[in-house]
Chains A and B, each alone.
Chain A
């Protein structure tokens, strides 16, 4: 049971003595228990989240090492073009408006 993903802490709050928070995963926001990282994270920090719990804070200095490697490799990310195309078509479809009764909902 090891799947955990990194997300950005948006806010922290107390829930009957347990620290909870909103964490943003690439645009998806979830409630996460921050009890195990409460004394070391603030909004804007990144955490690793497993089954609704932050189990560790991301060490961004260490992570930067990977970015530097990427730069050294002179990487031009053609993947970004594909992502842009997909995101753009999503936005355009949303802009076109939705057929049906959505606008008439009370």
Chain B
């Protein structure tokens, strides 16, 4: 035999275990394939002492201040879209939930359910995005888990992230601090994320691609905390269900009414056009890098200036006011001077064709 295979060093398998381009069921079994997956793909990207210890749980030094915890699962389809991917959302999304409480985000856990057959190239892109987002957001991913389910059971992959942040006593925005007369601000253009995703799903083509606005809002919140302080009564990021759903939740939680002005809603031209074509209302379209702020009336201008001083808040505008009229209801002054209620939807927004 002259094919160059040497037997003196012991049998060498010509088909090594790890030569697979896709996730296999075995990668979730806890055995060698699982260990290799964690070691070769996850750890190098999320590297930090707590994770590297590879204990059953992460050990963290308890800080001063109150702990804020939030969890979210991410099931977006398609997995990739202009502006990011499911991994980007999984990091920024949970970090933003912490930031909306005025907390400084510190740590994240990440649980993955991978579908058998998911390509490693795609998984790598998602993990790269998570690593970059974690780095940008100033957080570390300290614990994780991976499971694999059969083909057809997971839409590519699902991610759950749980975030922990520290809240200081002097900045605690919350719905119960909203007062009638507060200014309602948004930090920028609305409707970008949902349209970016729908555009991929529906095969829409644009002159200028609409990109998801997915971003970490913690720096914006830090600026508001430092320059406006506790005149910022409440913060929330209007994700699923859009600005309309978020404002309804806040109106009900705080027992105030909210009045919006349709003339000043910052809907970019391409988003408005896509909504017209798809039969959607921009007020119900998801955002991932936007915040809504309720600010004491006499500090509204200062808050707007603060937001506009940061790139993420360059497009900030005031869209309305809270009121003691019609508590729990959100109303809208229409472009032509009429009035209507902005309600929550029964389920997903269905495209109006007709």
Contact = CB atoms under 8 A, between A and B. Distances in A.
A23 to B, nearest CB: 10
Contacts of A1: 353-354
A15 interface: no
B116 interface: no
A5 B317 CA distance: 29
A82 B209 CA distance: 20
Interface string B187-208: 0111010000000000011111
Contact of B133 (A2, A5, A100): A100
B207 A98 contact: no
Contacts of B272: 26
A30 B199 CA distance: 11
B297 interface: no
B84 A100 contact: yes
Contact of B189 (A90, A98, A99): A90
B85 interface: yes
Contact of B206 (A5, A29, A51, A89): A29
B353 A51 contact: yes
A89 B207 contact: no
Interface centre among A78, A100, A101, A102, by most chain B C-beta atoms within 10 angstroms, is A100
Interface centre among B126, B213, B266, by most chain A C-beta atoms within 10 angstroms, is B266
B273 A30 contact: no
A25 interface: yes
Contacts of A29: 204-207
Nearest to A51: B353
B129 A100 contact: yes
Interface in A79-103: 79, 82-83, 85-94, 96, 98-102
